C-alpha cells in the first residue's frame, strides 16, 4: 500500500513542479540543454518517448495542460523517470495496446531507440541487443545480455516471451544494470510490470477480429475479498493469427500463431506497513513460422518445407513478493519457481526453394520427413532475492541484498533420415545443464555538494555450472557410434557502476556514469561436436565497460520532455554465434567488440487534444581484436550482426471530447506511429545485409467510461521485412504482414 501511495505522491509533486513558472534557473537550464543537444546532433534530434497521459489544468493557469509524470521502479523504488540517471524508455497506458501478443518483444524494441530484438524464432524467445551489446543467438538459457523481468523475476532466454496481458507499464533500462539485475544485464534490462489487485470492483471484456485469421479475447476481473485487507485479480487472454507464408510444396500457408495467457494474483495488506503479493501464471505458445526462407525467391515470402515447422512452448509458475517497512528501512523478499514442461520443435532442415536454388534436384529435397530435426526441452528455474532499502524521503537512498538463481535445463534431440550434409543433427542427443548463481549487491545515491549527487553500486556474483552430454549415433558417415561427456564450470566476477548527477533546476539534470557489465560463461545446450566424437568447451564470461553521459529535461512549462544520452561500450569476449563457413553447423566465438552512439527521445503535449512522441537512436558496433584462426569467419572491423546504425519511431495521438459531435459522453481518438529499423549485418561474417524497413500502425476509435469501439491496422502497408538471416542461401526469416481489424471492450 505504501509503495502505491508513494508513487501517487511522486506523481502529484511532479505535476506541481512542472506547473511552476520558470525563473532564472530554467533559463540557464535551457542554455545547457542547447549545448547538450549539439553534442547529440549526430543522432538527429527528434521527439520520442512514451505515451502521454494528461491531467486537469491548474487553477492558477487554466489554459495549461501538462504531461503526467511517469513513475518507474527500475531502481527498486518509485521515482519520476525524469529524475533517474539512466537512459530509460517507458511504455504505458494506451500505447501498451499497440504491443501485439504475438510479437511483444519485437514491438517493444521497435518503440525504443537503440534496442534490437532478434526475431530468431523457435525457443529463442527473449533475445535482445541494446546499443550494440548482445548475442545473436543465445547458446544456453542464461546466455543473454538483456535481462527480461516480470514481477521483478528474470526470465529464461528460452522461456516464453513476456505476455502483454494486463500490464501497467514496460520499462526499458539502457546500459549495464549489473548492480540490481545481475548477470545477463550487460546491455540493459526490460521490466514488465503487471497491474496489481486493487480494492475496487472491476470486470472487463475485450475482443478483436481481423484479417489473416486474427482474433483476440480478453477477460479481466478485480475484486476486494476483504476490504482494505485482501484483493484478487484474474486476467485471461487468447489470441490467434493465421499463416501468411505460402508453402509451394505441400500447399496452404505457414506461419500461424496461437497464444494463451492467464495470471491470477492475490494482494494481502494486513497493515499499512506490510504487503504480500502472490501471483500464479500460465502461458502457452504455438507457431508454424518458417525458421528460414529463400531471400531471392520469386514468390517471397514463401516456403518449401515438408512438413511444416512446428514449435510449442508451455510454462507455469508462482511468484511471491513480501514487503514490510520497518522504522528505518524496508525489507523485500521476492521468491519464484517457474516450470517449462514443453519446449518442443520440429524442423525440416531442407527447404525445397533454398536447396533447389543451390542446384539440388526436387527428388532430393521434397521427400517428406527427410532431414527432420526434432527437439524436446524442459526447464525449471528458481529465484530468491532478499533486500533492504531506504524509506521514502531519505536523504541517502540505498538498496542492498542477497540473490540466488538456479536453472535446471534438459534438452533431448533426434535427427530423422539425416543426410551426411546435416551430420551434426543426426542421432540422438541428451543434454543436462544445471546452473547456480549466488550474489551480494548494494547501491546508494548520496548527496554531495548542493545539487550534486554521487551514485555507487557493486555486485559480486559466483556461478557454478554442470553439463552432461550423451550422444547415440545413427550411422551417418563421418559420425561416431556414441559419445559421453560430463564437465563443469565456475567463475566469480564483479559488476556495478559509479556516477555523478547534477540538478541544474527542477526541470533539467545531467549525469555521467561508468558501468561494468557481464554475461556468465558456461556451456551450450546443443552438443555440436558430439556427433564427431569431440567434447564441448565452456565459453568464457563476457565482461564490458560502458561510459555514458546524458541529460533529462522538462520543457514548455511541463508540456514537453526531452531526454538524451551518448555512450561507449567496450566488450571483452562477447558471445557470438555464427554458421561455420562451408557447412550447416554453428559455433560459438568469444570475440571482443565495441559500440558507440547516442539516443534522443521526447514527448510533447502540443494542445490538450494533441500529443506527439518519438525517438531516434544511432549505434556503431564492430568487432575488434579478432584472432585470425576463429571458426566463424569474422575479421576485425566487421559490423556486429542485427545492429542497425539507425532506428527510431515517431507518432501522434489526437483525442477530442465526443460532445463536439453531439454525444453525451466519451471521446473520439486517432493515433498513428511509424517505426524505422535500418539495414544491419545478418551475421558475424557480414556476408549480406538485411534490408531497412518501416512499419506504420494506426488506431481510430471512441472511448467512454464503460465501453470502447475501435478499428486498427498493424503494419498498414504490409511490409514483409527481413527479421533475421544467415548466409546459407542466403535465407531470412520474414516479418509478420498486415493485420486490419475491429475491436470492442466493455466494463461492468
**pLDDT at 632 exceeding the cut of 50:** yes
Hey, which residues does 193 pair with through a beta bridge?
A: 169
What was the pLDDT predicted at 185?
94
User: Residues 282-304: what's their mean pLDDT?
Assistant: 93
326-358 burial: b if 16+ Cβ within 10 Å, else e: eeebbebebbbbbebeebbbbbbbbbbbbbbbe
pLDDT > 90 in the chain, percent: 73
What was the pLDDT predicted at 634?
83
Q: What is the pLDDT of residues 237-263, one digit of tens each?
A: 999 999 999 999 999 999 999 999 999
User: Residues 642-656: what's their mean pLDDT?
Assistant: 96
**pLDDT at 708 exceeding the cut of 70:** yes
**pLDDT at 84 exceeding the cut of 70:** yes
Q: What is the pLDDT of residues 8-20, one digit of tens each?
A: 555 555 555 544 4
Record the cell numbers describing residue 725, joined without a space.
538471416
Q: What is the pLDDT of residues 131-146, one digit of tens each?
A: 999 876 778 888 889 9
The number of beta carbons lying within 10 Å of the beta carbon of residue 662 is 6
What was the pLDDT predicted at 714?
95
Query: DSSP letters of 339-398?
Result: EEEEEEEEEES--HHHHHHTT--HHHH--TTTTEEEEEEEEEEEEEEEEEEPPTT-SSEE
**pLDDT at 575 exceeding the cut of 70:** yes
User: Residues 159-178: what's their mean pLDDT?
Assistant: 92
Instruction: Choose the weakest-confidence range: 100-109, 252-261, 269-278.
Output: 100-109
Q: What is the pLDDT of residues 379-406, one digit of tens each?
A: 999 999 999 999 988 999 999 999 999 9
What was the pLDDT predicted at 6?
52
What was the pLDDT predicted at 365?
64
Question: Which position has the higher pLDDT, 83 or 359?
Answer: 83
CA separation for the pair 607, 348 (Å, rounded): 55
Q: What is the pLDDT of residues 451-477, one digit of tens each?
A: 999 999 999 999 999 999 999 999 999
**Cβ proximity of 364 and 355 under 8 Å:** yes
**pLDDT at 67 exceeding the cut of 90:** no
What was the pLDDT predicted at 184?
85
User: Residues 300-316: what's their mean pLDDT?
Assistant: 94
What was the pLDDT predicted at 578?
72
Q: What is the pLDDT of residues 660-702, one digit of tens each?
A: 888 889 999 999 999 999 999 998 889 999 999 999 999 999 9
> Which of helix, strand or coil describes residue 584?
coil
Burial of 681 from C-beta contacts in 10 A (0-12 / 13-18 / 19+): buried
CA separation for the pair 185, 514 (Å, rounded): 15
**pLDDT at 656 exceeding the cut of 60:** yes
Q: Shortest CA distance to 579 belongs to which of 475, 680, 724?
A: 724
**pLDDT at 31 exceeding the cut of 50:** no
Query: DSSP letters of 650-694?
Result: EEEEEEEEGGGGT-SS-EEEEEEEEEEE--EESSTT---EEPPEE
Q: What is the pLDDT of residues 211-240, one digit of tens each?
A: 999 999 999 999 999 999 999 999 999 999
Q: What is the pLDDT of residues 184-196, one digit of tens each?
A: 899 999 999 999 9
Residue 514, φ and ψ in degrees, nearest 5: -125, 120
Terminal-residue alpha carbon distance, the chain:
25
What was the pLDDT predicted at 683?
87
What was the pLDDT predicted at 8?
53
Average pLDDT, the chain: 89
What was the pLDDT predicted at 631?
72
| Confidence label for 643 from pLDDT (cuts 50, 70 and 90) | very high
Hey, which residues does 560 pair with through a beta bridge?
A: 555, 604
Query: DSSP letters of 165-200?
Result: TTEEEEEEEES--HHHH-TT-SSEEEEEEEPPP-SS
Q: How far is CA 316 from CA 261, 338, 433, in A?
A: 10, 6, 20
Hey, which residues does 54 pair with through a beta bridge?
A: 67
CA separation for the pair 338, 159 (Å, rounded): 10
33 Cβ neighbours under 8 A, 6+ residues apart: 508, 551, 553, 555, 562
What was the pLDDT predicted at 33?
40
Q: What is the pLDDT of residues 196-214, one digit of tens each?
A: 999 999 999 999 999 999 9
What was the pLDDT predicted at 363?
58
CATH code of the domain in which 180 resides: 2.40.170.20
Q: State the total domains in the chain.
A: 1
For residue 418, the enclosing domain spans 2-747
Q: How far is CA 73 from CA 99, 149, 190, 719, in A?
A: 21, 12, 12, 36
Question: Which position has the higher pLDDT, 632 or 190?
Answer: 190
Instruction: Choose the weakest-confidence range: 47-61, 144-158, 529-543, 593-607.
Output: 47-61
Amino acid at each position: 500500500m505504501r509503495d502505491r501511495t508513494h508513487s501517487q505522491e511522486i506523481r502529484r509533486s511532479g505535476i506541481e513542479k512542472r506547473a511552476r513558472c520558470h525563473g532564472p534557473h530554467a533559463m540557464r537550464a535551457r542554455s545547457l540543454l542547447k549545448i547538450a543537444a549539439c553534442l547529440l546532433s549526430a543522432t538527429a534530434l527528434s521527439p520520442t518517448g512514451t505515451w502521454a497521459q494528461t491531467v486537469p489544468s491548474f487553477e492558477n493557469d487554466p489554459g495549461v495542460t501538462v504531461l503526467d509524470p511517469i513513475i518507474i521502479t527500475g531502481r527498486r523504488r518509485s521515482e519520476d523517470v525524469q529524475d533517474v540517471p539512466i537512459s530509460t524508455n517507458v511504455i504505458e497506458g494506451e500505447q501498451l495496446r499497440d504491443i501485439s501478443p504475438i510479437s511483444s518483444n519485437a514491438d517493444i524494441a521497435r518503440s525504443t531507440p537503440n534496442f534490437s530484438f532478434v526475431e530468431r524464432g523457435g525457443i529463442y524467445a527473449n533475445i535482445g541487443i541494446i546499443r550494440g551489446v548482445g548475442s545473436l543467438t543465445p547458446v544456453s538459457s542464461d546466455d543473454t545480455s538483456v535481462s527480461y523481468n516480470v514481477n521483478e523475476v528474470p526470465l529464461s532466454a528460452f522461456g516464453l516471451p513476456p505476455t502483454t496481458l494486463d500490464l501497467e507499464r514496460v520499462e526499458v533500462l539502457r546500459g549495464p544494470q549489473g548492480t540490481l539485475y545481475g548477470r545477463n544485464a550487460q546491455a540493459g534490462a526490460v521490466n514488465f510490470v503487471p497491474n496489481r489487485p486493487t480494492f475496487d470492483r472491476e470486470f472487463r471484456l475485450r475482443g478483436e477480429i481481423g484479417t489473416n485469421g486474427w482474433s483476440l479475447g480478453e477477460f479481466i476481473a478485480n475484486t476486494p475479498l476483504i476490504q482494505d485487507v485482501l484483493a484478487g485479480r484474474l486476467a485471461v487472454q487468447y489470441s490467434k493469427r493465421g499463416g501468411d507464408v505460402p508453402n509451394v510444396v505441400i500447399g496452404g500457408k505457414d506461419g500461424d500463431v496461437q497464444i494463451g495467457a492467464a495470471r491470477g494474483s492475490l494482494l494481502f495488506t494486513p497493515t499499512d506497513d506490510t504487503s504480500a503479493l502472490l501471483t500464479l501464471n500460465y502461458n502457452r505458445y504455438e507457431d508454424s513460422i518458417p525458421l528460414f526462407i529463400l531471400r531471392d525467391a520469386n514468390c517471397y515470402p514463401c516456403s518449401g518445407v515438408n512438413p511444416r515447422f512446428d514449435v510449442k512452448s508451455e510454462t507455469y509458475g508462482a511468484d511471491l513478493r513480501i514487503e514490510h517497512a520497518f522504522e528505518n528501512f524496508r525489507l523485500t523478499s521476492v521468491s519464484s519457481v517457474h516450470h517449462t514442461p514443453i519446449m518442443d520443435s520440429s524442423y525440416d532442415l531442407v527447404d525445397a526453394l533454398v536447396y533447389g536454388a543451390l542446384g539440388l534436384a526436387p527428388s532430393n529435397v521434397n521427400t517428406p520427413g527427410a532431414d527432420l530435426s526434432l527437439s524436446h526441452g524442459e526447464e525449471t528455474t528458481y529465484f530468491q532475492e532478499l533486500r533492504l532499502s531506504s524509506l521514502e524521503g531519505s536523504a541517502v537512498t540505498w538498496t542492498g541484498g542477497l540473490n540466488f538463481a538456479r536453472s535446471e535445463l534438459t534438452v533431448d534431440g533426434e535427427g530423422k533420415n539425416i543426410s551426411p550434409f546435416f551430420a551434426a543433427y543426426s542421432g540422438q542427443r541428451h543434454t543436462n545443464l544445471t546452473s547456480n548463481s549466488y550474489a551480494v549487491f548494494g547501491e546508494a545515491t548520496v548527496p554531495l555538494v548542493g545539487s550534486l549527487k554521487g551514485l555507487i553500486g557493486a555486485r559480486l556474483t559466483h556461478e557454478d555450472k554442470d553439463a552432461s552430454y550423451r550422444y547415440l549415433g545413427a550411422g551417418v558417415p563421418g559420425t561416431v557410434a556414441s559419445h559421453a561427456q560430463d564437465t563443469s564450470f565456475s567463475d566469480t566476477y564483479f559488476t556495478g557502476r559509479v556516477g555523478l548527477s547534477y540538478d541544474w533546476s527542477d526541470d533539467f539534470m545531467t549525469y555521467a556514469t561508468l558501468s561494468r557489465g557481464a554475461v556468465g560463461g558456461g556451456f551450450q545446450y546443443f552438443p555440436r561436436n558430439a556427433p564427431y566424437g569431440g567434447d564441448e568447451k565452456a565459453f568464457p564470461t563476457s565482461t564490458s565497460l560502458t561510459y555514458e553521459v546524458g541529460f533529462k529535461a522538462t520543457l514548455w512549462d511541463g508540456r514537453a520532455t526531452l531526454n538524451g544520452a551518448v555512450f561507449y561500450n567496450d566488450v571483452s569476449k562477447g558471445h557470438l554465434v555464427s554458421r561455420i563457413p562451408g557447412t550447416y553447423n554453428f559455433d560459438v566465438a568469444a570475440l571482443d567488440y565495441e559500440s558507440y552512439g547516442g539516443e534522443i527521445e521526447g514527448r510533447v503535449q502540443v494542445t490538450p487534444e494533441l500529443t506527439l512522441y518519438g525517438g531516434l537512436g544511432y549505434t556503431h558496433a564492430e568487432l575488434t581484436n579478432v584472432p585470425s584462426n576463429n571458426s566463424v569467419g569474422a575479421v576485425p572491423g566487421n559490423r556486429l550482426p542485427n545492429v542497425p546504425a539507425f532506428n527510431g519511431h515517431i507518432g501522434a495521438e489526437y483525442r477530442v471530447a465526443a460532445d463536439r459531435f453531439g454525444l453525451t459522453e466519451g471521446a473520439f481518438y486517432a493515433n498513428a506511429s511509424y517505426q524505422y529499423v535500418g539495414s544491419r549485418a545478418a551475421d558475424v561474417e557480414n556476408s549480406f545485409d538485411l534490408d531497412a524497413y518501416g512499419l506504420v500502425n494506426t488506431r481510430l476509435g471512441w472511448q467512454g467510461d464503460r465501453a470502447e469501439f475501435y478499428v486498427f491496422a498493424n503494419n498498414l502497408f504490409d511490409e514483409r521485412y527481413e527479421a533475421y538471416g544467415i548466409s546459407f542461401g542466403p535465407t531470412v526469416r520474414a516479418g509478420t504482414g498486415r493485420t486490419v481489424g475491429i475491436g470492442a471492450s466493455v466494463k461492468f
